[in-house]
Structure 1
Amino acid sequence: MEVKQAFRHIKQGSISPIYICYGTEAYIMNEFIERLLEQLVEPEHREMAIVRFDTGETPIDSIIEEAETLPFLVPSKIVLVRDSVLFASGKESSRVEHRPERLLTYIGQPSETTVLVFIVPHEKLDERKKLVKTAKSSDFVISFTPLQSEELLQWLLKRVGSQGRSIDKQTAEELLRRIGTDMNALAAEVDKLCLHAGAGGTVSSESVVALVPMATEQNVFKLTEELAALRTAEVLNLYYDLLKQREEPIKLMALLVRQFRNMLYVKELSSQGYSPQQMASQLGLHPYAVKITGEQARKFSPERLAALLSELADLDFAMKTGRIDKALGLELFLMKTGSAGAS
């Protein structure tokens, strides 16, 4: 089942008896579960109507027994089960024994007064398992994957609009550049900016710059952009600001290495015809991060990126062996790289 379709069904009151929610986008998954709770459970009944389990601690037999037990003093209940054993791919690490056939039987005849929700915080399910195949054939499985870059931008614009404020696309993109793709962090910053703008107000780029601190990783994104543009003064200002925030030079260097390496990977995969979504999956990056990395990679040749990675490897050795002061070593690298450019 598609995520949008699942949200639409909930809004229409069409609730499935079982959901297997998996994926790495925890924010949307939590939002889905919250919408489910709002539809099924009155606020004053939540304590009686919500039961939580973890398959790492509770056998599936006990969970199914709870699901089959009639709700007490409420018309229906929700059983939320965190799972990394029954549906997830990879090695099972449960401290308890499970009988998957018990759940298979329940899937065939679920309780009418219980909604059973499995929360699987993994990128993939184990497609070899009969449980997964059966759940998919029953249309109980929902994949919560990171939003594409344009979808993330539209979500941000919509969240601002839902609070009676406005924001232009350029300002929204600046907010994404400063925060990154963490939807929980984005939601918090959007709410703060909307409060600052006031009812009917506009979230301005000036307020974003003034009120939203740039995350360390986003500062490193910015560093690479400024390096490619030969804006050495801006590069050094960013670096000095990070040092004032007591960021460790070795950590900053590691982030630079990762970014240059990702740029090299994106150039290579792009030349092989990979789509942004395929690259995101291959590299373990958010689609928006792939978009930004791709834009930066176009300014560097593969040979230049390989040379920079080699220089950073030498610098790492020199810093860790005490041959050069850490802060000074990275500063000299940034100055040299900014002067030489991306060619």
Structure 2
Amino acid sequence: MKDIEIVLKSIKNKEFLPIYFLHGEEPYYIDVATKHFENDVLEEDEKAFNQTVVYGKDTNYGEILSLARQYPMMGDKQLIIVKEAQDLKLEESESDAFLAYLNAPVESTILVFAHKHKKLDSRKKVSKELTTKKFLFLSDKIKDSQLATWIQSEIEKFGYKAAPNVSFLLAEYLGSDLSRIANELNKLKLVLKEGDVLDNKIVEEHIGISKDYNIFELQKALATKNKERAFKIAYYMGKNKKSNPIQMSIGALYKFFSDLVMYHTLIGQSPSVIAKEIGVNPYAIQNFAEAARFYPLKLATRIISVIREMDLKSKGLGVRQMEDDEIYVEMTFKILNIDQIKIN
């Protein structure tokens, strides 16, 4: 995120580099930076002549460099944005040409690459040269332990206040898709004004997360072996699959019980050390301590197998594809009775 902040500051201050190569596994920050380039670099009357957007799958480095060597019309700068740059193929001959351009870029051109979902190969000469010239900017995945804090900061950026645990609820339900989280918070502009409090009721009504029936609550019920509540939540979520996509729920439970397995291997360490090793907020360690009482290491490991089985069933891979409501109930039953069931 630090790298992207440098890029945004550069745009805001109108202090431009000739090349920005944005790359990394987190597409959200790359999209944010790209949008700012599109909207905030050139004046509206300059964009028609001096702003060009191309896509990686439809072009190549030769064509991009040819555009970059042109000069702006009726202005001081031209902006070239290469979206989906991860689709570009860098041939050896093009690599040499790109390296030459990196060492002598056209100062009147701002060349932006949006290389999403993966990092540029650090072993390549081009990557090393981009790093040396300080043209390379990383957008890394946010850690799960930092997600609730990030959501809290985004809520504050929108000018809202947050009720206790709302950021944790959103983190559990929406996962680490930052674009989705930002979109959901942006929708609240229609119902909230600056200074209003974002509470569970608003989340339930406008984001579709029930404060009582969501993956966060199901996870807690399973972790404490509250059978009646777990089945009640599972049934509700299965009947409201649009608000509770099965793949997201399977992913969340897989992560929780995988972290529980790791917790077992770290018992004896301090809570802060365990939290750091697992990659969660220290507040969550008590949840694992409680779950560990009901699910020793052997059972927690077996639960991972059950969740994998449910994932296959949800996709119809090698088994009969099941409806979401069936999967929710069967998965809940098997987890709660993991000490009695037979693992295939």
Give the TM interval when normalised to the shorter protein: 0.7 to 0.9
Query: With structure 1 as the length reference, what TM-score do the two structures score?
Result: 0.75
Cα deviation, residue 19, structure 1: 0.9
Identify which of 109, 121, 126 aligns with 2:104. 109
Superposed CA deviations along residues 228-278 of structure 1, whole A, max 9, x for unmatched, are 12222221122212321358999689647734663356447868x999788
> In structure 2, what is the Cα distance between the partners aligned to 1:58 and 1:325?
43
Cα deviation, residue 123, structure 1: 2.7
- SS of residue in 1 equivalent to 2:171: helix
Cα deviation, residue 221, structure 1: 5.0
> In structure 1, what is the Cα distance between the partners aligned to 2:246 and 2:185?
32
Answer yes or no: is 1:208 the counterpart of 2:167.
no
Specify the alignment match of 1:174 in structure 2: 169
> In structure 1, what is the Cα distance between the partners aligned to 2:146 and 2:46?
35
Cα deviation, residue 189, structure 1: 1.9
Superposed CA deviations along residues 93-121 of structure 1, whole A, max 9, x for unmatched, are x7x88521111111111111111111211
> In structure 2, what is the Cα distance between the partners aligned to 1:178 and 1:31?
23
Contact 1:50 1:77 in 2 (8 A): yes
Specify the alignment match of 2:124 in structure 1: 129
Superposed CA deviations along residues 25-52 of structure 1, whole A, max 9, x for unmatched, are 2121111122233442123433333212
1:228-239 superposed matches below 5 A: 228-239=223-234
Cα deviation, residue 330, structure 1: 5.8
Contact 1:266 1:293 in 2 (8 A): no
1:122-271 superposed matches below 5 A: 122-149=117-144, 152-168=147-163, 170-214=165-209, 219-245=214-240, 255=251, 258-259=254-255, 262-263=258-259, 266-267=262-263
Moved more, 44-53 or 243-252: 243-252
> In structure 2, what is the Cα distance between the partners aligned to 1:310 and 1:50?
52
Specify the alignment match of 1:72 in structure 2: 73
- SS of residue in 1 equivalent to 2:142: coil
* Cα distance, 1:266–1:4 mapped onto 2, change above 3 Å: farther
Moved more, 257-266 or 121-130: 257-266
> In structure 1, what is the Cα distance between the partners aligned to 2:144 and 2:250?
25
Aligned AA (2:166): T
Cα deviation, residue 321, structure 1: 6.2
Specify the alignment match of 1:28 in structure 2: 29
Specify the alignment match of 2:303 in structure 1: 308
Specify the alignment match of 1:331 in structure 2: 329
Superposed CA deviations along residues 122-153 of structure 1, whole A, max 9, x for unmatched, are 43221221111111000111100123457544
> In structure 2, what is the Cα distance between the partners aligned to 1:212 and 1:325?
23
Specify the alignment match of 2:342 in structure 1: none
* Cα distance, 1:122–1:226 mapped onto 2, change above 3 Å: same
1:11-50 superposed matches below 5 A: 11-50=12-51
Contact 2:22 2:112 in 1 (8 A): yes
> In structure 1, what is the Cα distance between the partners aligned to 2:245 and 2:170?
25
Moved more, 18-27 or 169-178: 169-178
Moved more, 123-132 or 253-262: 253-262
Superposed CA deviations along residues 31-76 of structure 1, whole A, max 9, x for unmatched, are 1122233442123433333212334432312211100101223331
- SS of residue in 2 equivalent to 1:99: helix
Contact 1:16 1:140 in 2 (8 A): yes
Contact 2:11 2:37 in 1 (8 A): yes
Aligned length: 322
* Cα distance, 1:256–1:168 mapped onto 2, change above 3 Å: closer
Gaps of 5+ in 1: 87-91, 280-286
- Identical-pair percentage: 18
Aligned AA (2:85): D
Specify the alignment match of 1:283 in structure 2: none
* Cα distance, 1:253–1:12 mapped onto 2, change above 3 Å: closer
* Cα distance, 1:61–1:207 mapped onto 2, change above 3 Å: same
* Cα distance, 1:63–1:268 mapped onto 2, change above 3 Å: farther
